[in-house]
Amino acid sequence: MSEADFEARYRADPDPWSYTTSGYERDKYQATLAACGPGPFASAIELGASIGVFSALLAPRCRSLVTIDSAPTAVAAARRRLAGSPAVTAVLGSIPEAIPRRGYDLVVASEILYYLDGARLGETLAVIRECTGPGVRCVAVHWRPAGPERPFDAGQVHELLRAQSWLASVSSAATDDYLLDVLERR
């Protein structure tokens, strides 16, 4: 899917993946929060934050949280949802270009990395490496079924993450619906 495709989905439906009502999303959010840990995190980043539903759950654990999405309609919704959280900055932009280059102690990538083509995925991992130091937690969670709109499936993305020499696998979990990996920066 292109960035224009994402924007079109959000214009047609303000919650196109049922983030606010889906039992799957609710369960995945709880598992992802548990994988992140209790915090507090000095500086966290969430890639592909969409309308900010998970961001609102993560924000209380963060002194600073940057969320990024490329769809203007989604970012506008996230900003409204997160307006009461002054420590959150919702960035409109493409990954990896829009990632603010600063140090993070938590990186969350939920159902986003498999939308990137090989070159952009490699660039994104390079930026994450640049913006993290030893011991930083990286949490990745992706829906398992493959789709024609994604260059990769969850298994391929998570295998690639676990193969990075600069990341150490802490834990992995799998359900019928998603893969969840916790990795730490070496």
**Secondary structure (H, E, C), 52-84:** CHHHHHHHHHECCEEEEECCHHHHHHHHHHCCC
Q: What is the mean pLDDT of the chain?
A: 97
Domains of the chain and any CATH numbers? 3-185 (3.40.50.150)
pLDDT in tens, 73-98: 999 999 999 999 999 999 999 999 99
- For residue 125, what pLDDT is reported? 98
pLDDT in tens, 51-73: 999 999 999 999 999 999 999 99
- For residue 83, what pLDDT is reported? 97
What's the rounded mean pLDDT across residues 3-7? 97
Instruction: Quickly state the pLDDT bin for 171 (edges 50, 70, 90).
Output: very high
